Every structure is written in C-alpha cells, then in structure tokens.
Amino acid sequence: MNESHDSTETPANGEETLDPRDAATLLTQTKDKATRELEVNSMLLCLLGGSSIIIGFGILWMSVRNQHPYQGPTPGSIGLFYLLILGIDVVAIAAYRRSSRGVRGQRRKDRQIIGAVGATGLVGIFVVMGALEHAGVSHSVVYGIYPATVPLVFFGLIGAVGAASREDWTLFTAALIISLVAAGAAFGGPAGAWFITGLGSGVVLFGCAGVKLIQRRAR
Amino acid sequence: MTDDELDPLIHVPARLRILATLAALHEGDTLSFTRLQEMIELTSGNLITHLRKLEDARYVKSDKTGSGIASRTSVALTTRGREALDAYARALRAVLDGI
C-alpha cells in the first residue's frame, strides 16, 4: 500500500490481544462512532426541516388567508420563505459534505443523480407556473394551489428515492406521506393549501424525527 | 467456546477498529486513507502496517488513484472481511455467554 502523506513504517502498536469484554465494548463503540460520523444526522435534519416548513408555509399562509379575491403571497413573505429554504439548504449540504468526506462509491453517485433530478424538477415547476400564468389561469391556481402543493409532491417523491437508496425506510415512508399530504392539500383551496401542506408536512417530519429517536435509543 | 477461537487477525485493538469503521460504510463504498486515519487516530505508518495484514488476508482492499501529491488511496471492506467480522462478533458473543 502506498500513501503519499507519510509512508514511514513503524512497528504496529496495539498488537496485544484483547480481553473479550473489552473487545465487545471496542467493537460496539467503534461501530457507533463510525456510523455517527459517516451518516447524516437525519433526526436533526427532520426536526429542522419540519420547523422550517411549518414556519415558512405559515408565513405564506398568514399573508394570503384574508385575501378576497385571492392574489397570492406578498413579496415580503416570499422573501422570508426563500431565506428560510436557503438556510436549511446550507445546513443540509454542510451536513452531507461533512459526513461524506473521503467516501466514494455508489451512494455518492446516487446523491449526485438525485441532486441533478431535483434541480431540473425545480426549474420545470417554475416553468410550468409561468406557462399557467401565460395561459391566463387564475391567481388562485398559479399563486396558490399550484406552488403550495406541486413542489412538495415532487420533492416528497425525490426524498423517497434518496431515502430508499440509503435504505432509510423511516424517511422513505415520511417522504411518501408528505407527497400524499401535499397532493391532498390541493383540495383545500388556494389559502388552505398553504396551511394544510405546511402543517401536514411539518407534523410528518416531526413524527419521523420521533421515530428515529426511538430507533436510536433501541440500538 | 474459548478466546482461541476468536480470529487472531481481528482480535487486536487497531485492526478491530479498522474493520468496525469500514463496516459502517455501505456495500460498494470506499473510504479515503486520510479520513480512515482521522477516524481511528493511528499514525499513518501503523495504519499502513495493519492494513497490509488485513489486505494479505483479503479482508480489506485498497485502491490508489493519481500520483504524487494528488494521489488518493481508498480502502474498503471486502465481502470476505465483512463475513469475517460478523463471524468474529458471533464468536465474541459466544465467548461472553460462556463466561
């Protein structure tokens, strides 16, 4: 084996054998430590995501709830919403980068593919929104039902694919439920859709965090 | 079961930590030498020596890409290594149950 950093060979220390109890403790502790360092803390990300969705969608809902006729979220509320989304994106990307540093293989490729699909989908969602506006579709749909539901239907499914590639079945289930909640929220009307999607998705993510906490304690 | 039945190649602190750390990777993933060294806190000379022993037993495989300062060595657990670690963990449980 060659390594450019320091290939000076020194006699291997730690050749002494272990007491079986110490070996069992060392095995468990090392596995736990490695898992913590190599995996993203999805419980914290679920909590952060749930809080952000409830606050972000809440802000948008507050800005539209008394509109008659419906006009859509105010520029200020949209700005706050995007700031929040940007914040959670920065935290999530930093967490993924930290955990995957030095790791290569299929999972990294899967993540890149999912990222590319997600980015393309996001552009597609806004293009269709523009096309709906261009076609003269009402503000209730273009600035209400559509943006309040379709992005989360899409990102719920993308999240489910990402979770499945990591065999994280708790997050997979939560992501699918979020997708269904967002789809169902379309029946809530333009203002109601923001409320139902935000609250429903937030609760699902909090539930996911709770299940992960229970799973962690059971290990 | 006695201590003698524990795989002597694994039943050493440094190599046990190397294998347990690599086992946390998903199948098909590799870990850079540098990150592995940071995680298990061994000097690079010691890590290389232990990895060579594990490689000789085909418990781990390493792959070097690039050359000079840009070289990167990746390490991964082989299927044989994963099976050996599982067998070691089972043997360890049996020893502890017998105590």
Which residues, at least 6 apart from B1, have a Cβ–Cβ distance to it below 8 Å?
B91, B94, B95, B98
pLDDT at A203 over 80: yes
Q: Helix B33-40 crosses helix A20-38 at what angle (to 10 degrees)?
A: 130
Q: How many CB atoms lie within 10 A of CB A176?
A: 17
- Which of the two residues, A176 and B28, has the higher pLDDT score? A176
Q: Is A75 exposed, middle or buried (CB count within 10 Å of its CB: 0-12, 13-18, 19+)?
A: exposed
Region A177-193: what's the mean pLDDT? 97
Kindly determine whether residue A14 and residue B12, on different chains, have CB atoms separated by under 8 Å. yes
Q: Which residues of B touch A39 (CB under 8 A)?
A: 24
pLDDT at A148 over 90: yes
Residue A69 contacts B where some CB pair is shorter than 8 Å: no
Kindly determine whether residue A27 and residue B20, on different chains, have CB atoms separated by under 8 Å. yes
Which residues, at least 6 apart from A171, have a Cβ–Cβ distance to it below 8 Å?
A42, A46, A159, A163, A208
Q: Which residues of A touch B53 (CB under 8 A)?
A: 12
Closest residue by Cα to residue A174 from A154, A186, A196, A156: A156
- Domain borders along chain A are 39-218
Distances in Å between the Cα of A135 and the Cα atoms of A124, A140, A210 are 16, 14, 44
Round the average pLDDT of chain A to a whole number and report it.
89
Which residues, at least 6 apart from A34, have a Cβ–Cβ distance to it below 8 Å?
B20, B21, B23, B24, B39
For the stretch A50-79, pLDDT in tens is 999 999 999 999 999 999 899 999 999 999
How much of chain A, in percent, has pLDDT values that exceed 90? 69
Region B1-11: what's the mean pLDDT? 78
pLDDT at A1 over 60: no
Q: Which residues of B touch A105 (CB under 8 A)?
A: 25-26, 28-30, 76
- Nearest Cα of chain B lies from the Cα of A90 at a distance, in angstroms, of 23
- Structure tokens belonging to residue A110: 């899967």
Residue A112 contacts B where some CB pair is shorter than 8 Å: no
Q: What is the pLDDT of residue A69?
A: 92
- Structure tokens belonging to residue A151: 């992005």
Q: Which residues of B touch A35 (CB under 8 A)?
A: 24
- Nearest Cα of chain A lies from the Cα of B17 at a distance, in angstroms, of 6
Specify which residues B74 forms β-bridges with: B32, B63
Kindly determine whether residue B34 and residue A38, on different chains, have CB atoms separated by under 8 Å. no
Residue A219 contacts B where some CB pair is shorter than 8 Å: no
What span, in angstroms and rounded, lies between the C-alpha atoms of B27 and B19? 13
Residue in chain B lying closest to A6 (CA): B44
Maximum distance among all alpha carbons in chain A?
A: 79
DSSP letter, residue B32: E
pLDDT at B70 over 90: no
Specify which residues A116 forms β-bridges with: none
Kindly determine whether residue A6 and residue B52, on different chains, have CB atoms separated by under 8 Å. no
How much of chain B, in percent, has pLDDT values that exceed 90? 70
Residue in B12, B49, B69 nearest the CB of A17: B12
The confidence band for A6, taking pLDDT boundaries of 50, 70 and 90, is very low
Q: What is the pLDDT of residue B59?
A: 96
Evaluate if pTM is beyond 0.90.
no
Specify which residues B64 forms β-bridges with: B73
The confidence band for A109, taking pLDDT boundaries of 50, 70 and 90, is confident
Q: What is the pLDDT of residue A11?
A: 44
Q: What is the pLDDT of residue B66?
A: 78
Distances in Å between the Cα of A62 and the Cα atoms of A66, A74, A77, A86 are 8, 10, 9, 20
DSSP letter, residue B70: G
Domains of chain B are 3-98 (1.10.10.10)
- Structure tokens belonging to residue B97: 């149950």
What is chain B's Cα-based Rg?
14
pLDDT at A42 over 50: yes
- Structure tokens belonging to residue B89: 């963990």
Kindly determine whether residue B20 and residue A34, on different chains, have CB atoms separated by under 8 Å. yes
What span, in angstroms and rounded, lies between the C-alpha atoms of B17 and A103? 17
Please check whether residue B41 is in contact with residue B52, taking contact to mean a CB–CB distance below 8 angstroms: no
Please check whether residue B72 is in contact with residue A104, taking contact to mean a CB–CB distance below 8 angstroms: no
What counts of helices (H) and strands (E) characterise chain B?
4, 3
